[in-house]
Structure 1
Amino acid sequence: MTEKLDSETRLLAAMAYGESSTADVFEEMAALANVMVRQSRARGYSTIAAFTAKEASFSYVVADGNKRYAKLMTAKDEEIENSPSMSDAVKAAKNALNGGEDYSNGAYFWDGADIRSNYKNHFKVAKGIRFTDPSHNIYGIKESTKLVKKIKTTKIKVNGKIETRKEELWRYDHIYQSTAAYGGTIFWKQNPDYIRYTHAKEYL
């Protein structure tokens, strides 16, 4: 007998299904679900429904007419059960909602093929990206750097003259570093140095 699917699980499963590639890789959907749950909780939402209602732009599939998202949202429970890919999406959603395995390895962000097609103008590329494992570079793109450093300037008197001295306090050359890659999706978190030095919030 088919177990009735609750609305929260269905929504998250549909989002993960819609955002993932058509390769239907379970780990990809599971990692996407992990990120969505982590982001929603970091931003103070108690449910995925509340998260998407207030911040729909985080996952465009909710409102952009994504066919895979719509397919799972409107599918009967029996249809989902008989579809290996949609069943995997539901499994991925349940894993994330129940605090199961984190397939994303702590990620807060992801990118698909657009990071290759829009490389020159991509937001993350402009801020600096680094692959922590060569296997994460599924699109064969170049790492990028943007050096940011903080210099402390002090003036001191030496032999009756004022001298200016500069001291480097910190530096970082990228904001995003990869955590995993499955199917057509690369997962990212922010560089710990960037967070420590700038006091940025790791989910923004």
Structure 2
Amino acid sequence: MKKDIEEPGVKPIEPEVRMLAAMAYGEASTQNDADEIYALASVLKRQRDARGYSSMKAFVRGESSFSFVVSDGNKRYQHFQHSTDTQILADSAMKAAIDAAENALADGPDRSNGAWFWDGADIRKNYLKHPKVKNGIRFAHPSHNIYSIKESSKLVIKHKTTKKKINGEVKLQKEEVYRYDHIFVSTAAYGGTIFWKQDATYLKHTKAKEYK
């Protein structure tokens, strides 16, 4: 990572801001949509907090599988991290990433609308094998379906077996406890990214953690 030596008067970008901004910029599409970058920064920061990390660096070290841009050679992430502060602030998209990171770290307006996850073009390319598709997806609004993919379902029904005395005879009865047919619901879509949260019914009945 280069140090900004071109303009000593420029206020240095704080490491936490730079890291979060670089990740959001790296995860975003090449459309450089500011809403997309802002939303990604908010999701990343929310995940960091929910998983109990005090910094993005610790989050990446402890949850390397959540966002691969730091370790997989992502060109946008690498470009951001190898740019000087002056270069970052002079580029509209990278500057937007800095603003997005500062907004997320300050718990500012969340353009992801409460999302915990996101997907890019891979959800269309690998539709049939995509984990979210296999578990069921719903679009809260048609505008979120930026890749024109079909909603999917996976019906899960939970039963319980109880003993009941009927006409003096004890019999086993199978009763439905709950059911759901999808897990993921879209919350927003910008640029090349769809944002998701887990369905309220699924969370209520399964007691699953919303950030996992």
Aligning the two structures, in what range does the TM-score lie when normalised by the shorter sequence? Answer: over 0.9
Instruction: Quote the residue 2:54 is aligned against.
Output: 46
Instruction: Quote the residue 1:104 is aligned against.
Output: 112
Query: In structure 2, what is the Cα distance between the partners aligned to 1:152 and 1:101?
Result: 43
Q: Write out per-residue CA displacement over residues 127-154 of structure 1, whole angstroms, 9 at most, x where no aligned residue.
A: 1111011100000000011111112222
- Within a 5 Å distance, the mapping from 1:15-164 to structure 2 comes to 15-164=23-172
Contact residue 72 and residue 80 of structure 1 kept, 8 A: yes
Query: In structure 1, what is the Cα distance between the partners aligned to 2:144 and 2:199?
Result: 16
Further displaced range: 144-153 or 17-26: 144-153
Instruction: Quote the residue 2:3 is aligned against.
Output: none
Report the alpha carbon displacement of residue 167 of structure 1 after superposing the two structures with TM: 2.2
AA in 2 matched with 1:44: G
Query: In structure 1, what is the Cα distance between the partners aligned to 2:204 and 2:177?
Result: 12
Q: What TM-score does the superposition give when structure 2 sets the normalisation length?
A: 0.93
AA in 2 matched with 1:83: D
AA in 2 matched with 1:157: K
Report the alpha carbon displacement of residue 156 of structure 1 after superposing the two structures with TM: 2.2
Q: What TM-score does the superposition give when structure 1 sets the normalisation length?
A: 0.96
Report the alpha carbon displacement of residue 197 of structure 1 after superposing the two structures with TM: 0.6
Query: In structure 2, what is the Cα distance between the partners aligned to 1:17 and 1:164?
Result: 57
Query: In structure 2, what is the Cα distance between the partners aligned to 1:161 and 1:99?
Result: 61
Report the alpha carbon displacement of residue 161 of structure 1 after superposing the two structures with TM: 3.6
**Unmatched segments (≥5 aa) in structure 1:** none
Query: In structure 2, what is the Cα distance between the partners aligned to 1:155 and 1:53?
Result: 50
Q: Give SS of 1:29's match.
A: helix
Contact residue 2 and residue 81 of structure 1 kept, 8 A: no
Instruction: Quote the residue 1:182 is aligned against.
Output: 190
Considering fraction of residues, name the structure with more helix: 1
Q: Write out per-residue CA displacement over residues 76-109 of structure 1, whole angstroms, 9 at most, x where no aligned residue.
A: 1111111111101111111101110101111110
Instruction: Quote the residue 1:168 is aligned against.
Output: 176
Report the alpha carbon displacement of residue 119 of structure 1 after superposing the two structures with TM: 0.4
Query: In structure 2, what is the Cα distance between the partners aligned to 1:129 and 1:7?
Result: 36
Q: 1:201 aligned to 2:209?
A: yes
Q: Give SS of 1:36's match.
A: helix
Q: Give SS of 2:187's match.
A: strand
Aligned residues with identical type, % of pairs: 58
Q: Give SS of 1:56's match.
A: coil
Query: In structure 2, what is the Cα distance between the partners aligned to 1:156 and 1:56?
Result: 50
How many residue pairs align between the two structures?
Answer: 204
**Unmatched segments (≥5 aa) in structure 2:** 1-8
